[in-house]
């Protein structure tokens, strides 16, 4: 443990597996007290990993660890998350990582309203609700970091002609939700600049083949289209300690590492050798 995040309290959503679990692990490894959030405590039958497993893994570092089971698409359930986390950690949240997301890929012509609403509840309303809940404490403290996980899919398709690759326009609703999240991130960064609160979003430059990504698009991803989990986590963690001149930006993982001169480290904060260490 480096102690980099010692005495800081962090809340990480979507932390039963993948990027969320890895970020929570890395923050705890560097001294943070962490509360992790996911929809179910014991995971899903279709994917490996669970909230309980994340808590067990984080526990080895000896910091305070808590978990909250909540469905972020349900406004009533997410309304109490920050208050519960503050009780578990004994104070206001210093770091919020909004990682949880709903990704439903389906052509727009028959994309149901219910699925559109679920997507925007998880990917737009939940991150903003949680940000609004932590901001009073951050403003009072004169410091805080909010990091939203976003996606390169938020960009527009250039054309015509349109040269679409899988999943093409089937990801448009998900992409639209991430575009909305980017706009809110930028605006919050501007709004809270003078209060010491840093608000950023970060997207992978290439795909990170987590359990969820493997389930969705794993068969269509080539090795040269991938970046490592450690690289993505390094970028997220950099923004959990971002200076004022970075706030409000929508960052790209590997580009951010290169800009800051950072090399990806292991999830325990230790040196990492091999391809995963490159920026």
- Residue 98 domain-assigned (yes or no): yes
- Residue 278 domain-assigned (yes or no): no
Structural domain range at position 161: 9-272
- Residue 2 domain-assigned (yes or no): no
- How far from 11 is each of 120, 150, 156, 227, 231, CA to CA, in Å? 21, 17, 31, 25, 21
Q: pLDDT by residue (tens digit) across 76-91?
A: 999 999 999 999 999 9
Per the DSSP assignment, residues forming a β-bridge with 65 are: 34
Question: In this prediction, what percent of the chain has a pLDDT beyond 90?
Answer: 84
> Which pair of structure tokens corresponds to residue 21?
């679990």
Ranking 29-43, 104-118, 119-133, 181-195 by mean pLDDT, the lowest is 29-43
- Residue 4 domain-assigned (yes or no): no
- For the chain, the domain total comes to 1
- Residue 146 domain-assigned (yes or no): yes
Q: 25 falls in which pLDDT band (50, 70, 90)?
A: very high
- Residue 121 domain-assigned (yes or no): yes
CATH number at residue 48: 3.40.50.720
- Residue 140 domain-assigned (yes or no): yes
Let me know: does 254 contact 227? Beta carbons within 8 Å: yes
DSSP for 225-255 reads GEE-HHHHHHHHHHHTT--GGGTT-EEEHHH
Annotated catalytic residues are 174, 178
Say whether pTM exceeds 0.75. yes
- Residue 28 domain-assigned (yes or no): yes
Average pLDDT over residues 108-117: 97
Mean of per-residue pLDDT scores for the chain: 92
Q: What's the distance, Cα to Cα, between the start and end of the chain in Å?
A: 22
Let me know: does 194 contact 228? Beta carbons within 8 Å: no
């Amino acid at each position: 443990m480096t102690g980099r995040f010692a005495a800081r309290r962090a809340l990480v959503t979507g932390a039963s597996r993948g990027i969320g679990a890895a970020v929570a692990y890395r923050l705890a490894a560097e001294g943070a007290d962490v509360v992790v959030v996911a929809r179910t405590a014991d995971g899903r039958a279709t994917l490996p990993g669970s909230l309980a497993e994340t808590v067990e893994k984080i526990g080895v570092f000896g910091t305070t660890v808590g978990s909250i089971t909540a469905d972020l698409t349900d406004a009533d359930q997410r309304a109490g998350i920050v208050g519960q986390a503050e009780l578990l950690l004994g104070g206001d949240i210093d770091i919020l990582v909004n990682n949880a997301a709903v990704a439903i890929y389906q052509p727009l012509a028959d994309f149901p309203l219910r699925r559109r609403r679920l997507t925007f509840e998880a990917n737009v309303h939940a991150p903003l609700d949680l940000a609004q809940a932590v901001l009073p404490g951050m403003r009072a403290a004169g410091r805080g970091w909010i990091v939203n996980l976003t996606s390169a899919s938020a960009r527009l398709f250039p054309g015509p002609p349109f040269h679409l690759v899988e999943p093409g326009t089937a990801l448009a609703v998900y992409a639209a939700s991430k575009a909305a999240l980017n706009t809110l991130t930028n605006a919050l960064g501007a709004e809270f600049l003078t209060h010491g609160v840093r608000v950023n979003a970060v997207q992978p430059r290439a795909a990170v083949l987590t359990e969820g990504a493997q389930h969705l698009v794993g068969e269509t991803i080539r090795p040269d289209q991938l970046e490592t989990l450690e690289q993505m986590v390094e970028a997220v963690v950099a923004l959990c300690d971002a200076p004022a001149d970075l706030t409000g930006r929508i960052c790209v993982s590997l580009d951010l590492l290169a800009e800051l001169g950072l090399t990806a480290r292991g999830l325990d904060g230790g040196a990492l050798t091999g391809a995963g260490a490159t920026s």
